[in-house]
Amino acid sequence: MSDGLVQHPDGKSRCWWCGADPLYMAYHDTEWGVPERDGRALFEKLILDGFQAGLSWITILRKRDAFRRAFADFDPAEIARFTDAHVEALMLDAGIVRNRAKIEGTILSARAYLAMGGADAFSRFLWDFVGGAPLQTRRAKRGDIPPADEMSRAVSAALKKAGFKFCGPTIVYAFMQACGLVNDHLVGCHRQIVCEELA
């Protein structure tokens, strides 16, 4: 195996980061790197990546259903109407990450999303950065994957200018990987070719 690939008992090679946790492996095999074009789903993933900062992604995955309940299934129109009372209630919700700045940032990001024009506009905005098609990096080893790059810095700057919060270049790069704007499954991972074909 090359640096960054793990051979699992089912005979499949996977990127190192999903380990052996069944939930993490299922996420790796069914979601991560799959091109996502639905604007609402993209919004959800961007928000969750923002909450993940400073934590492990598996922590967020385990809390994802609770996040969906707490944030109206990530309906930006609903979230944009959240009041101070909603924020206080969310600060008492042990099912999510109780970070006031990130909760308030989610409300501001929902308003930015609506101001941008909603689902279709948000999707076009993001996919335009990669020319409408996923970037195929075909990286060979773990050390080849950067924490951020020129593209994620450009997307981050544009999101911040539009009013989105918690969308720094590192968060944005992880988001782009997760949503398949960038296919960063390592060569040899059983999902690399699958995601490339989905493009």
Mean pLDDT by 10 residues, the chain (199 residues): 86 95 97 98 98 94 98 98 98 98 98 98 98 97 96 98 98 98 98 96
Was 190 annotated as part of a binding site? no
Helical (H) or strand (E) element with 15 = strand 13-15
**Rounded Cα distance, 185 and 70, in Å:** 31
DSSP 186: P
Q: Are 192 and 135 in contact (CB under 8 A)?
A: no
User: What local confidence, expressed as pLDDT, does residue 199 receive?
Assistant: 87
| DSSP bridge partners of 13 | 7
Was 15 annotated as part of a binding site? yes
User: What local confidence, expressed as pLDDT, does residue 3 receive?
Assistant: 87
**CATH no. of 34-198:** 1.10.340.30
**Rounded Cα distance, 171 and 152, in Å:** 8
User: What local confidence, expressed as pLDDT, does residue 188 receive?
Assistant: 96
Q: Are 141 and 132 in contact (CB under 8 A)?
A: no
**39-52 helix and 169-178 helix, angle to the nearest 10 degrees:** 130
Q: Strand 13-15 relative to strand 5-7: parallel, antiparallel, unpaired?
A: antiparallel
Was 189 annotated as part of a binding site? yes
User: What local confidence, expressed as pLDDT, does residue 165 receive?
Assistant: 98
User: What local confidence, expressed as pLDDT, does residue 26 receive?
Assistant: 97
Q: Are 82 and 107 in contact (CB under 8 A)?
A: yes
